[in-house]
Structure 1
Amino acid sequence: MQIERKLQLMIEQKEHFHGSDLEKIEKIYGIKKENIMSFAANVNPLGESGKLKTALSERIDAITKYPDREYTSLRKAIGSYCKCDYNHITVGNGCTELISLFIQITAPKKTLLLGPTYSEYERDLRINGSDISYYFLKEKDDFKINSDEFISAITADTDLVIICNPNNPTGSLITQDKLKTILTHCKETNTYVMIDETYIEFVPDVDELSAIPLTELFDNVIILRGTSKFFATPGLRLGYAITSNSQILTDINTNKNPWMINSLAVVAGETMFLDEEYIDKTRSLILSEKTRCRQLIEKSHKFKLYPSYSNFYLLKILDEGVDAHMLFERAIRQGMMIRDCSTFPGLKERFIRFCIMKPEDNTRLINCLTQ
């Protein structure tokens, strides 16, 4: 009885969960993590690349040797994939570690965040003593940026601007032209810009929308990417950063631990970026399912759905009698996990987010949400 009461209190306190908190959910709700379909982690529903799986099994002996400390072959593979100079690339133990390293190295006294956005930026900034302010995307504008307003918020004492593009959790995107204007202004104010492109690869015309070409024009910008989401390898912990600023690259490489990337992650990176069939199949699935899911959700008239350039949708609940936690509870009790977005600065308890999974799973979730 005491255990049941403790469980009930935990649920009543409205616990909030990250997409990776399956063990925590298992403990609170009594649902085995293996039976939970996560629509909150934003990971490619196809799973890892078939070529990657084969390469790892065939080259398992790579773990018997230290990896190259310069990671030259891996950086060349990334450079070929991203169409940029491999000398402008450094690698790290996931995108999250590179975020931390960059913030430690630049030590910004004042940082402007484009919000609502990923919480890890704020965490690292606070650890390093930065004064944080937000420019919030407006709901009335469907969370699309007003670049003139945003630029006016970047002043001479702004040391760092952080942009997630496409943005998590809104799915909105800033085009190359607008980013170029922002970077030009930041060059004048002597401001660094960090652009997190974790979700850019889900966009079909990625080369036209990515900020990577702008690194050839501006040395005050660093682009961060990882393989967790698009390539469905969050356990691999492979991230990379691209910048033409040689001093920043030197500082990152000097301050990070040697052999941050293990030998199997090197094999994975040299393989997965070449799997064009997997890349095309992923983009085709995400695009077709986003279209179908949008039509089903709009037909229900229960949510406001915001335009998204990523593999997830942000929804606003229109029913006054329902909030995000209630829908989270309804879904999790059916073995499906969505994201309650009330913890994102700038959003309240009427917003949820879910990522695109396989067709039959998407249908089951939408039926659950719209019942």
Structure 2
Amino acid sequence: MNKEARLSRLTRMALGRESSDYLSRDVDELTMVEELKNKYGLENVYRFDVGKNIDGFSPLIQDVLETPELLGLITGSLTEYPENSYQRLRRQLSLHHDIPPEWFVFGAGLESVIDHIARAVLDPGDHVLIPVPNFDVFQSVSFRMGASLTFMEMPGLCWDGNILESLCRKMKEKTYRLVWLSNPVNPTGQFIPQDDIHRLLSHASETRTLVVVDEAYGEYTDRPHAVRSASSLLKSYPNLMVLRTFSKVHCLPSARVGYMAASSERLRQATNTYRPMFPFSWFSLYMAQLAVLDGDYVNEIRRRNQERKKCFFNRIRQQDSGLETFMFLESDTNTLMFRHRDLGADALHGLLAERGFLTANLNRLTGIQNQGFLRMTLHGDAVNEKFLDACRWCGRHLFR
């Protein structure tokens, strides 16, 4: 028997699709970094390609990690299955979002939660609507379920009233099962006003369309004493699912703690159906519980990010910056899309890697294919200046 015949039809379709994301399961990143160091004689390789908080996790977590009692807790937990009701974390997030604790569903990072949602609500042939560019995982999980995808391009890479009207019009013209959004938009970093989310949900309710709002970078647009989230709309819209993670601002990507909030018990039950019994460890849960407690640190990271962006763009806009051939897009998060006027994305990506800066190559991402865009994550001012020096070197490379 042909081995491929043993695979499901949907799996064969998924295997035949080339991912447009900048990350690959097949790349050994640690080896790649060491190879760059050896090949180009680099002392450091800076990860500008991953959108996490470069300042690290909360000092509260650091203090706990340094306590002698933690070793006993860790060794004791290794012999037990982790808790899977998450009651304490539920209560913490309930206070944070001002919604009932039972409205949360947890998973091993947002990618797995997104996959579980797609499995729970999509049938082959269902129509899915995605403004682009957007998080590529939305596209890949929908495709794996056999859905028919409609992409709505954002002119000028900018969310505005026109794209909102277009999405609402599309939902009236055809029956869509699901709309995927990220807010702030990944990868542009633009925050979508809550009024626009409200209007979209109102139209989606009329057409019985489900809406997912992925707020992976949401903490960057929250307020010092208030969450600015679509979770505030859950009581009015049972067709809404809101996602957040501990991988970005909280800088716990290895913990793999992501969550969905939904007022619909049916949606929560359906999504939970695909969740493994123990999606993450006791230690991951403990770290997430500590992270929620340290709101002051999140406020501080938001403040630092604003200062770094201000300094970064001031340097770019200086008359003698030497960066006139580069374009950097404004962002509400810690990541920035950019491109060079003459260098293509692959060439610029490779040249920056030679100088020790790994960036996210977005050249195959739906909605901005072959437009030359890369994405970088802001670091501290000193490292950002080194990055800009590397950009200047790349620009001069054209004339060698």
1:106 aligns with 2:137: no
Cα displacement (A) at 1:143: 4.9
The equivalent residue for 2:336 is 313
Distance in 2 separating the partners of 1:34 and 1:47: 21
Amino acid at match of 2:245: G
Segments of 5+ residues of structure 1 without an aligned counterpart are: 1-14
SS in 1 for 2:49: coil
CA contact (8 A) 1:172 1:309 kept: yes
Moved more, 227-236 or 199-208: 199-208
1:62 aligns with 2:80: no
CA contact (8 A) 1:91 1:261 kept: no
Amino acid at match of 2:349: F
Cα displacement (A) at 1:204: 4.7
Amino acid at match of 1:241: M
1:333 aligns with 2:354: yes
1:79–1:177 Cα change, 3 Å: same
1:27–1:128 Cα change, 3 Å: farther
Q: 1:65-104 maps to which residues of 2 (within 5 A)?
A: 65-104=80-119
SS in 2 for 1:343: coil
Distance in 2 separating the partners of 1:357 and 1:144: 29
1:362–1:327 Cα change, 3 Å: same
CA contact (8 A) 2:52 2:251 kept: yes
Aligned residues: 354
1:23 aligns with 2:18: no
SS in 1 for 2:179: strand
The equivalent residue for 2:10 is none
1:80–1:31 Cα change, 3 Å: farther
Cα displacement (A) at 1:183: 0.2
The equivalent residue for 1:9 is none
Distance in 1 separating the partners of 2:236 and 2:296: 32
Cα displacement (A) at 1:327: 1.9
CA-atom RMSD, angstroms?
2.4
Q: TM-score, with normalisation over the residues of structure 1?
A: 0.88
| 1:287-315 deviation line (CA, Å, top 9, x unaligned) | 10011112222333222332211111112
Distance in 2 separating the partners of 1:296 and 1:134: 36
Segments of 5+ residues of structure 2 without an aligned counterpart are: 1-19, 394-400
Distance in 2 separating the partners of 1:69 and 1:351: 41
Distance in 1 separating the partners of 2:238 and 2:303: 34
Distance in 2 separating the partners of 1:275 and 1:94: 20
SS in 1 for 2:234: helix
Cα displacement (A) at 1:94: 0.6
Cα displacement (A) at 1:277: 3.0
The equivalent residue for 1:46 is 55
Distance in 2 separating the partners of 1:289 and 1:143: 24
Identity %: 21
Cα displacement (A) at 1:73: 1.2
Greater Cα radius of gyration, structure 1 or 2: 2
Q: TM-score, with normalisation over the residues of structure 2?
A: 0.82
Moved more, 240-249 or 154-163: 154-163
Distance in 1 separating the partners of 2:331 and 2:210: 27
CA contact (8 A) 1:63 1:264 kept: no
Distance in 2 separating the partners of 1:31 and 1:129: 44
1:257 aligns with 2:276: yes
